[in-house]
Chain A
């Protein structure tokens, strides 16, 4: 025993420390044609100490010295295994790690060994993930979870750190306890974080989200985090929750806002201030998305309620409300196990922060009437203005365009709750104005896709307005003035023009309109044709010639859709609804036109 300690103090620790520096620091500067130079050197040093230590074993029996040597050797082996993994020699790494587990299996619950065992398990998970074997990785991680939980509940919370095997620690007792506890928790946090990654790989989103969430919680509780990063991560997580659980989505956003306000606003160092402003705007944008989702989902909720529909969707938006409610209601007293993260309840996922101020800004329940919708709308508008302060048109054009699109969506959603048709039209008009404003400024060479999106939305909006005016006309025959009719025709014509502009943007300068559309363009292009067909049919003209001419154009567009789908049957399922209507119209329209001719001949 004495000999071992003497060796370590005289030589061992020094060599190990040098190895660590080589492996972790010097390796960053290795030349590109010899990228593992330092790592190979580190490896040799580790091996030297390991050999020396193992040679100090006096005999074969398992006495105190032998056990100590075994554990120490394992600690070095772990370093070696990591080293081999870093030089892409996975098989050797695996061998070493498996041996580590075997060698200290008996002692894994001991105070000086548990952290080491945890670390080995974590490392095995990393190794198997490199081999693309997520299930195997998960196995090791779940084992690590159990080990942590068992030790903490039965033994204590500050076991020796595995690093203590390889270096002398000069802390006073109090500090040592604290460090050990923090290290133990940290190793566990890493386990959880790796679980999150593996579950993401396995496409088990719900579980992955829980692990990410708990990781965030733990970072918060341990006070080891950068507020800007943490806030951004919480906001990003809300982007996931937005489609699953609206209550948690808002909670994460509120936490993000709260924590972000802790961040320093360094106005002297140029770059950091810019980052601060940007992240602030980013979190605001997440809030915008949340607000839009509330409005959109509320729409679905109301539609389902009113129509009592048997909704056959994969995940109806309104489920995001019901799922949250279910979790809140469940008062199962048995589900209080903090360590069963896969099944952790919503209650336990709350962050330990005072968030009322932030959560009060906006609801997390469906909105049912116009006034409530309007409150949400106004808040969204405020957020958009705020985000535009950073994401300016001249500096961050793409982001600016997205904000304009968000604004337009907000109006669109609000219009659903508005009962008065005229006011609805005013909202749509606002949309068109803001969309065209940016669409006409951007250079199509750089912003081709954005321009297409904007034009398409403008076209659809004109179409909606025409429909509204038409519906008004039909419900109040007395409002049928030449002015009103003219307005409808104008709107319809603008819609047609914009759809055509969209279709023109698909043309190749040399070959014209493509005979086979690319996958992403099929649906919008065919829908555009379909809409044009509809709009032509809706034009109101007294003269026979004009009537027939419009119906003819309408027919042409419907026919295009039918012909295209016949030529490319694989695309038909993208537009089944529209296709069916087009087929009908292709049959009906000629008959209708014939009748008009006969009536007027």
Chain B
């Protein structure tokens, strides 16, 4: 429980059974809890002990420590990168639910990001020992923030102009941000320093810059680009580029979803009070009609009709990452407390939907 949960005498409403997570409705405690099934469900609320060096290790098989999470999720990400494929890692959840702990960790309880980076550089160092003449390995870093639909380069403060940076979609480059800066890095420490630097430039009140508490008003994207150059048997230059996107999604309760954007992170049945979100409501209607199936003769048609123009910058980014054949890992961090029931349920639903985001059907 975090501070706020403790001060409100929160009670436990989350349970995990194998791969599924259950949540009880605090207003209907006797009702059947809702179940959500995922690829993994990690428990870190209790049943752990603290080692002398600060590392939190399992006191029973129920607890999932940082190493376990890394082995399950982080290793796969790295393997993909070595193969030359892209990968995206998303962390989503309410402030204080443990998002940053999973991604970055605290002290000796390193999260996926530092562990993966350390592993990557170790791998590169090993390769360099036996490297052939033309073999080269480069790692570069970039860091962006999406706040209020505007994109800012967190590593280049000169570009904090009005309107933010332009996001483009190029036929061969794919999705990219114009004039985005990339920085070469050679060790985890350098990555760490750069991320710290970027974090300081985030749109937040300066008082709260504590590395392990990420701020929830904006989405942050750290992109680690890994280039492997070598020459094959015929002497041709072969280059494999893979990008690992580490996305810290804005805390669900603070996502700046103004009326104009269709930021669907916080979707639920709650009425949106501002008329500025009329567009979203109409869009929801159009979407319901979009996937209409009709049967004509013996053929089944799926009619894709509506124009996708209300998608927020983040949604576009997500679609690019979730579609195609790049590997995606989504980590939804949950608070176990009853006072956060609405937010937690919203997070679970979001994760559920993300699981189901399939790329659009091809044709009839």
Q: Chain A interface (Cβ within 8 Å of chain B)?
A: 29, 31-35, 88, 91, 125-126, 129-132, 134, 137, 189-190, 193-194, 196-198, 200-201, 203, 205, 208-209, 212, 215-216, 219, 229, 232-233, 236-237, 239-240, 242-244, 269-271, 274, 278, 282, 285-286, 289, 293, 300, 311-317, 393-399, 438, 441-443, 445-449, 452-453, 456-457, 460, 508-509, 518-521, 523-524, 527, 574, 576-577
Contact = CB atoms under 8 A, between A and B. Distances in A.
Contacts of B175: 446
B298 A282 contact: no
B285 A212 contact: yes
Contacts of A229: 259-260, 276, 279
B294 A314 contact: yes
Contacts of B172: 441-443, 446
A317 B288 CA distance: 16
8 contacts: A32-B215, A32-B254, A193-B275, A243-B292, A314-B292, A314-B295, A396-B169, A445-B174
Nearest to A519: B358
B212 to A, nearest CB: 12
B286 A239 contact: yes
B161 to A, nearest CB: 9
Nearest to A459: B363
Interface string B256-285: 000110000000111111011011011111
A312 B295 contact: yes
A394 B275 contact: no
Contacts of A300: 296
Given A443-B173, A446-B174, A32 B281 contact: no
Closest 9 CB pairs of A and B: A446-B174, A271-B163, A448-B324, A577-B298, A239-B286, A239-B306, A129-B271, A524-B362, A282-B309
Interface in B329-364: 339, 342, 358-364
Contact of B163 (A137, A270, A285): A270
Given A443-B172, A523-B300, 13 more contacts: A32-B95, A34-B4, A193-B278, A200-B288, A216-B278, A233-B282, A271-B162, A312-B295, A443-B173, A445-B174, A446-B172, A449-B360, A524-B361
B95 to A, nearest CB: 5
Contacts of B259: 229
A215 B270 contact: no
Nearest to B259: A229
Question: Which of B207, B285, B294, B300 has the largest number of chain A CB atoms within 10 A?
Answer: B285
A239 B342 contact: no
Contacts, number: 220
Interface of B: 2-4, 27, 83, 86, 95-96, 162-163, 166, 168-175, 205, 207-208, 213, 215-216, 251, 253-254, 259-260, 268-273, 275-276, 278-279, 281-286, 288-290, 292-296, 298-300, 303, 305-307, 309-310, 320, 323-326, 339, 342, 358-364
A463 B41 CA distance: 48
Contacts of A137: 271
A328 to B, nearest CB: 22
Given A32-B95, A240-B282, A394 B170 contact: yes
B282 A33 contact: no
Contacts of A201: 269
Contact of A189 (B174, B268, B275, B307): B275
A438 B170 CA distance: 12
A456 B363 contact: yes
Contacts of B306: 236, 239, 242, 289
Nearest to B302: A523
Question: Which of A34, A196, A274, A576 has the largest number of chain B CB atoms within 10 A?
Answer: A196
A502 to B, nearest CB: 8
Nearest to B253: A35
A530 B2 CA distance: 58
A448 B325 contact: yes
B281 A197 contact: yes
A397 B171 contact: yes
B201 to A, nearest CB: 17
A520 B358 contact: yes
A215 B305 CA distance: 24
A523 B361 CA distance: 9
Contacts of A131: 27
A201 B281 CA distance: 10
Contacts of B289: 205, 239-240, 242-244
A446 B326 CA distance: 9
Contact of B300 (A35, A508, A574): A574
Contacts of A31: 205, 207-208
Nearest to B163: A271
Contacts of B95: 32-33, 35
B144 to A, nearest CB: 17
Given A190-B275, A445-B174, A212 B358 contact: no
A394 B208 contact: no
Contacts of B251: 32
Given A88-B342, A520-B361, A442 B272 contact: no
Contact of B171 (A311, A394, A520, A527): A394
A313 B296 CA distance: 6
A400 B24 CA distance: 46
A556 B294 CA distance: 31
A441 B285 CA distance: 35
Nearest to A448: B324
